[in-house]
Structure 1
Amino acid sequence: MKKYKWIIIFLNLILLLVYFNYSIAKKEELLTDGQLVLLELAPIDPRSLMQGDYMALRYKISEDIYSENIPKRGYCVVRLDSSGIAHKIRFQKNLTPLNDREFLIEYTSPDKWNVNIGAESFFFQEGQAEKYEK
């Protein structure tokens, strides 16, 4: 029995390392081959005494959405304008089909009033708030 315990632990460790390496490879591939997409921010002004200075991010493309009409998980299809800023085209559940110059951003919808697209907060050094106030 003791022998099997160590084999199971070793196999789990190998699986964990394979998963981490796969995750790192996917992120490296995105950095190498990915397209820069800028998302316009909507105004919001939080401050946390426990965590320091940060900015809660609310994206313009996730505004005015009643998410009962869209899947809980899926992809937001965006098209870039001449400045490289993404504009929402539609929501879809699958990766395809895409039209010319359209890109996918994965989203989750925890409830019918919120759609989470990417990072929801950005932390910065204390005293640097003026830099991000625009």
Structure 2
Amino acid sequence: MHKKIVIGSLLIILVLVNWSIIGKEKHLVEGKEVYLEVTPVDPRSLMQGDYMALNFRLGDEVYQALPKTEDRRQWRHDIAASDGFVIASLDARNVGTFKSLYIDQPLSNKEILLRYRVRNGTVKFATNAYFFQEGNGKIYEPARYGQFRVDDKGELLLVAMYDKDLKELGVNE
């Protein structure tokens, strides 16, 4: 009896994991391509190898737009750990820039809805780090944009890093 429960549980876990993988693959293929400007830092994680810590200019602009306490120096306590949506305007190259926080207003065809998360006093989009093969830090130093795929719910997946001319970094290196 215990063997059947273990095998059944394992099958359920495998189905759920594969369903999640299929969903992420679909998101990567069908998601709208958007570039967000980053302000990278290149720390070294001894346990995880090399990575680039990411901060997004759009996140800084969302931070400025979020409601603050009356003295304007701190976030209100009720949004210190929250999720929300921002409207980003897209230029001809699909580079997203801050337009406004989303409050159920309609979007134009050159705007996109992006989900953000406020955690530990920071606005985050999808991830706050980009991992790369150990020893390849120099390749990613010119990074100025993160390429994302955005689904119809505003969820972002980071795909690759790009330089100021939107040339992908780390390919054919």
TM-score by length of 2: 0.58
Q: How does 1:30-109 map onto structure 2 within 5 Å? A: 30-64=27-61, 65-66=63-64, 67=66, 68=75, 72-92=82-102, 97-109=106-118
More helix by share: 1
User: Quick check: which has more Rg, 1 or 2?
Assistant: 1
Q: What is the number of equivalent residue pairs in this alignment?
A: 129
TM-score by length of 1: 0.72
Mapped to 1, the partners of 2:46 and 2:17 lie a distance apart of: 34
Mapped to 2, the partners of 1:28 and 1:76 lie a distance apart of: 24
Give ranges in structure 1 of 5+ residues lacking alignment: none
Mapped to 2, the partners of 1:44 and 1:33 lie a distance apart of: 30
Matching of residue 121 in structure 1 with residue 118 in structure 2: no
Give ranges in structure 2 of 5+ residues lacking alignment: 67-74, 143-173
Root-mean-square deviation (Å): 3.0
Among the aligned pairs, what percent are the same residue?
35
Mapped to 2, the partners of 1:117 and 1:93 lie a distance apart of: 18
Q: Relative to 1, partners in 2 of residues 1:118 and 1:13: Cα closer, same or farther, differing over 3 Å?
A: same
- Give, as a single letter, the amino acid of the residue that structure 2 aligns with 1:118: A
Please give the secondary structure, in 2, of the residue aligned with 1:58.
coil
Q: How does 1:3-42 map onto structure 2 within 5 Å? A: 19-20=16-17, 22-42=19-39
Q: Relative to 1, partners in 2 of residues 1:49 and 1:89: Cα closer, same or farther, differing over 3 Å?
A: same
Match of 2:141 in 1: 133
- Give, as a single letter, the amino acid of the residue that structure 1 aligns with 2:84: G
